[in-house]
A and B are shown apart, each in its own frame.
Chain A
Amino acid sequence: RKEVEQDPGPFNVPEGATVAFNCTYSNSASQSFFWYRQDCRKEPKLLMSVYSSGNEDGRFTAQLNRASQYISLLIRDSKLSDSATYLCVVNILYEAGTALIFGKGTTLSVSS
């Protein structure tokens, strides 16, 4: 079983649409949670951290459910520039230290 699982998509939506991505993780020792964004042929970049109480950054809302080991990202009023791959990331504490475990990503394509 993969440690972080995401629906690979692609999600094809029109401008202005609302789209939601889901992610599940298997390791209950996961300490912190993030969404990274990766543009085609570029490096991943932090989009936002995910807090237990849920958090919002402009058009982006992230939610965490520790009991269900589930993370979500909601994008409202999609823009063409939102087209990218969104990586769900968990930070796991283990014997040797901590490590970020990345999901394989969900691809979003926003069209006009």
Chain B
Amino acid sequence: DAGVIQSPRHEVTEMGQEVTLRCKPISGHDYLFWYRQTMMRGLELLIYFNNNVPIDDSGMPEDRFSAKMPNASFSTLKIQPSEPRDSAVYFCASRGTGWDEQFFGPGTRLTVL
């Protein structure tokens, strides 16, 4: 059974470029979460969706960040324009209704030069 799938696994880009991170949640899970992890700030929730609808985006750092979930099996996190301080590991996670456990994808390691 496939877990949460994220792509790309690594991304190196230059400041000012657009970055798009992708996530496929576990089939049947109706909650999807985007997190960012850095040494300084730990694991931070950016945004989460329930049944493809954004519920809370208060963790999105600024307007350069946007997230979409066009269907139950796909979500994107976009950064435009990217900045060096966006360098981090971005995790996607999903869970089913009534379950507390979240399942994380392997993460995307983003480096903005």
Contacts and interface: CB of A to CB of B under 8 A. Distances in A.
Interface of A: 32, 34, 42-46, 49, 87, 91, 96-97, 99-105
A87 B42 CA distance: 10
Contacts, number: 39
Q: Which of the listed residues B41, B101, B106 has the most CB atoms from chain A within 10 Å of its own CB? A: B101
Contacts of B101: 34, 46
A59 to B, nearest CB: 20
Interface of B: 33, 41-43, 45, 48, 50, 55-56, 58, 91, 100-102, 104-107
B20 to A, nearest CB: 20
Contacts of A32: 100
Nearest to B6: A43
B55 A97 contact: yes
B42 A43 contact: no
Given A96-B56, A99-B48, A103-B42, A43 B104 contact: yes
B95 to A, nearest CB: 9
B105 A87 contact: no
A46 B3 CA distance: 14
A96 B45 CA distance: 13
